[in-house]
Amino acid sequence: MDSASTMTKVEDASAVQEAVPPCLVSTRWLAANCKKSHVHVLDASMTKVVGRTPLEYNELTVIPNSIYLDLEQRLTDTSAALPNTFPTAEQVTLALQDLGVNKTDTVVLYDNQGIYSSPRAWVILKAMGFENVCILDGGLPQWLADNYPAGTEYALPRTARGNFVAKFNKNWLVSSKEVLKATQSGSSSIIDARSPERFLGTKPEPREGMRSGHIRSSFNLPFLEVLDDNRYRKPDELEEMFISLVGPKSPHLILTCGSGITACILLVAARIAGFTEVQLYDGSWSEWGANPQLPIEPISSSNNE
């Protein structure tokens, strides 16, 4: 299982042997490995940031030799009715092949907010069968804070086309039907990454006409709570956080949010904490909140339930 606790071991071993990184790597690890021919550093930043005050830059600022991974277009099914819908296997295949990524290569993802959209890209690649993928803990802000050099333009993709072919593993996702079943059976713990105000329905949803509230029987863990500034909290802190929320080692977790982006931050946090049975509800509140047939809490007069 991927674990942040193995980060130091990987870093120490990198000078003498090749090692597959865990789900998180540090700036030190990246600085030592980023120039290797099989390592691809991809910027998975998004243009729109929701749920936190965006970090802004005066000009394009990137990690040297990194390439832009267009999460909002290339790794999103833009033909779908819901925002930020999971991409098809064909989309992922084309996107990674265009960037020169081979199936045995290593991909390091980062974003310019620290930890925001890079976990979404991580979940997508893992669900599509790409194993050697990790997230730069702290992203670009941590890279800059640790005084590593920055660039103002992306590197060009490698001339040789990659050979990775995506194969979607449906076990990474759950549908609204499966979430509804979980609310009725109690077989899974559903955790919502949105703010307490949105979760409780005291703050209107950013999408017009959307119901306010949360999935019935779900728990609230705002995504910022699993972060310490720009980085993930330590594994033992995250484990304690999840256990205090859902009980000791709940057998199965379903992560949700507004549209499937910040739920991925929680999904990675749960993996770091030692939870292995974790799934993403990709439709999240964009789907659940728009369907009056699906039960929500709290029930108010504006919900018409």
Q: Is 23 a catalytic residue?
A: no
Domain edge (last residue) among 150, 168, 186: 168
* pLDDT over 90 (residue 251): no
Domain edge (last residue) among 168, 194, 211: 168
pLDDT score recorded for residue 6: 36
Which of 118, 28, 27, 29 has its CA nearest to residue 71? 118
Is the distance from CB of 97 to CB of 164 less than 8 angstroms?
Answer: yes
* pLDDT over 80 (residue 78): yes
Residue 249: pLDDT band with limits 50, 70, 90:
low
Mean pLDDT (the chain, rounded): 91
pLDDT score recorded for residue 4: 39
What's the angle, vertex CA 241, arms to CA 258 and CA 129, rounded to 5? 60
Average pLDDT on 53-81 reads 97
* pLDDT over 50 (residue 212): yes
Residue 3: pLDDT band with limits 50, 70, 90:
very low
Instruction: Indicate if 22 and 158 belong to the same structural domain.
Output: yes
Report how far residue 125's alpha carbon sits from residue 96's, in angstroms, rounded to the nearest whole number. Answer: 10
Instruction: Indicate if 136 and 218 belong to the same structural domain.
Output: no
Domain edge (last residue) among 168, 196, 220: 168
pLDDT score recorded for residue 229: 92
CATH code of residue 56: 3.40.250.10
Instruction: Indicate if 130 and 202 belong to the same structural domain.
Output: no
* Helices 118-127 and 263-272: angle between axes, nearest 10 degrees: 70
Instruction: Indicate if 179 and 199 belong to the same structural domain.
Output: yes
pLDDT score recorded for residue 277: 95
For residue 138, which amino acid is it? Answer: G
Sign of CA dihedral 174, 179, 185, 186: positive
DSSP helix, strand, coil percent of the chain (3-state; round to 5): 30, 15, 55
Instruction: Indicate if 74 and 123 belong to the same structural domain.
Output: yes
Of 198 and 18, the structure prediction assigns the larger pLDDT to 198
Instruction: Indicate if 208 and 222 belong to the same structural domain.
Output: yes
Q: Please list, in sequence order, all residues whose beta carbon lies within 8 angstroms of the beta carbon of residue 125, skipping any fewer than 6 positions away.
A: 92, 96, 107, 109, 133
pLDDT score recorded for residue 298: 83
Note the pTM of the prediction, 2 decimals.
0.91
pLDDT score recorded for residue 140: 99
The DSSP annotation for 208-254 comes to TT---SEETT-EE--GGGGEETTEEPPHHHHHHHHHHHH-TT-S-EE
Average pLDDT on 207-212 reads 88
What pairing do the DSSP bridges indicate for beta strands 278-281 and 173-174?
parallel
pLDDT score recorded for residue 299: 62
Residue 22: pLDDT band with limits 50, 70, 90:
confident
Instruction: Indicate if 75 and 163 belong to the same structural domain.
Output: yes
For 293, other C-beta atoms within 10 Å of its C-beta total 7
Instruction: Indicate if 71 and 180 belong to the same structural domain.
Output: no
Residue 183: pLDDT band with limits 50, 70, 90:
very high
* pLDDT over 70 (residue 64): yes
Instruction: Indicate if 194 and 209 belong to the same structural domain.
Output: yes
Instruction: Indicate if 199 and 163 belong to the same structural domain.
Output: no
Instruction: Indicate if 124 and 43 belong to the same structural domain.
Output: yes
- Determine the 3-state secondary structure of 38 from DSSP: coil
* pLDDT over 70 (residue 18): no
What is the residue range of 151's domain?
Answer: 4-168
Count of structural domains, the chain = 2
The Cα-based distances of 13 to 25, 29, 30, 83, 107 in angstroms read 13, 10, 13, 41, 18
* pLDDT over 90 (residue 154): yes
* pLDDT over 90 (residue 5): no
The Cα-based distances of 289 to 89, 190, 201, 221, 272 in angstroms read 27, 15, 11, 18, 29
pLDDT above 70 as % of the chain = 90
